[in-house]
Amino acid sequence: MLKSLSNHSKNNRAQDNNHFPSRDRISAVIFLVLCLSYGYQTLQIPLLPSDEYEPFTARTLPTLLTFIGIGLSILLLVTATPNIKSKTNETLNYKLLIGFLILMVLYGLGLTYIGFALATGTFLLISFYLLGERRKWILFGSSFPFAMAFYLLLTRGLGIYLEPGIIFTDFL
């Protein structure tokens, strides 16, 4: 009798989980809202009068990113599995989440003060460390070379000006 009552309560909990949207669907809706708001913001990008008939303008890539994001979020929304079929029952690691949120705020501040290359390299190094990588040769060998390669691609290859940082412009 007790065993059947226990099985009955487990079955009820499993059926109750089907009424709640899965994590994938919640993530898809949040991502869809972010993409739609980003798409709205891309419409606010001013165009030069000479850009009216140009095939590639300041709005082209942001608009393309908007459509890709909307498509991916709808795809995730449609293909998401219910909670009962989800293979992972892990809880969210709030400590890691808060660590990354703080790290992103510090990265934004670091861009202003120490510049793109050092801020990005440091951000990647600390991110890898937070995710569990402890080998120094991987930490330093993947973070700073990638940041420098990306910096050189943006500045030398594409001709985009990236501010070197207040520390380097004021003291050097």
pTM of the entire predicted model: 0.58
The more confidently predicted of residues 152 and 158 is 152
Structure confidence by residue, pLDDT tens digits, 156-170: 888 888 888 888 777
Q: Is the pLDDT of residue 48 over 80?
A: yes
Q: How far apart are CA 126 and CA 96, in angstroms?
A: 12
How high is the pLDDT of residue 8?
A: 52
How far CA 25 is from CA of 29, 60, 156, in Å, comes to 6, 29, 41
* Nearest alpha-carbon partner for 37 in 6, 59, 66: 66
Burial class (CB in 10 A: 0-12, 13-18, 19+), 42: middle
Do residues 65 and 34 lie in contact, with contact meaning Cβ atoms separated by under 8 Å? no
State the pLDDT at residue 163: 82
| Mean pLDDT, rounded, of the chain | 83
Question: Quick one: which of 123, 120, 118, 115 has its CA closest to 162?
Answer: 115
3-class secondary-structure state, position 47: coil
Which pLDDT score, from 0 to 100, does residue 35 have?
94
Q: Count of CB atoms within 10 A of residue 39's CB? A: 16
95 is written with which tokens? 């400590």
Say if residues 25 and 63 touch (Cβ distance below 8 Å).
Answer: no
3-state secondary structure of 77: helix
pLDDT value of residue 11: 52
